[in-house]
Amino acid sequence: MSGLAKRLLVGVLTPLAKLAATVGESGRRVWAHARLRASITGLVDPSVVIMGVAEVRGAGRVEVGKNLFLYPGLYLETQEPGRIVIGDDVVMSRGVHIVAFQEIVIGAGTLIGEYASLRDANHRFGEDQAIRRSGHDAAPIRIGRNVWIARGVMVLPGVTIGDGAVIGANAVVTRDVAPGAVVVGIPARPL
């Protein structure tokens, strides 16, 4: 193909490609919204923006607020009597994992960075017992309002994070965080 023919063809196809991308993106968001609604026990408000299909496992006991922004790769799992409650105006970035055997509550306005993990249960283990079949010990996680959980953070069972707190990137939160505190590190400690 000559250079001129290629330029003409690209000139004709570019507007069509832009139109297809726009229509395709809208269709993907609507599909992701419908899939989330079909996978959980709660309702999904039309104001919720879902950038990719969320993976929902277990019982699907998930309640979501309004005006959420959910990036691709979101993983939500509820086991046994566990449930996940997500407040209004929450943003969850790419690859966030939330697993509840008891309860995880995320307050309104909270931002959760890429690949963060909130898990309210740990495996039991001991001699002469296969970890896989040993069961779990669970304790609820409570995240306050307007909390910023940065990229790669791990929040462990039984933790409460107060309103307006900031959790630095890659921190492991093993104990409660006071309202307005900034914590970093492994284990997470106040700055």
Give the Å distances, CA to CA, from 181 to 40, 128, 163, 184: 33, 42, 9, 10
Residue 161's nearest CA partner among 96, 151, 172, 170 is: 172
- Catalytic, out of 33, 97, 123, 136: 123
Contact 46, 67 (CB under 8 A): no
Residue 157's nearest CA partner among 104, 103, 105, 121 is: 121
The verdict on whether 123 is a catalytic residue reads: yes
The DSSP 8-state label assigned to residue 146 in this structure reads: T
Q: Report the relative pairing of strands 103-106 and 141-143 from DSSP bridges.
A: parallel
The residues assigned a catalytic role are: 123
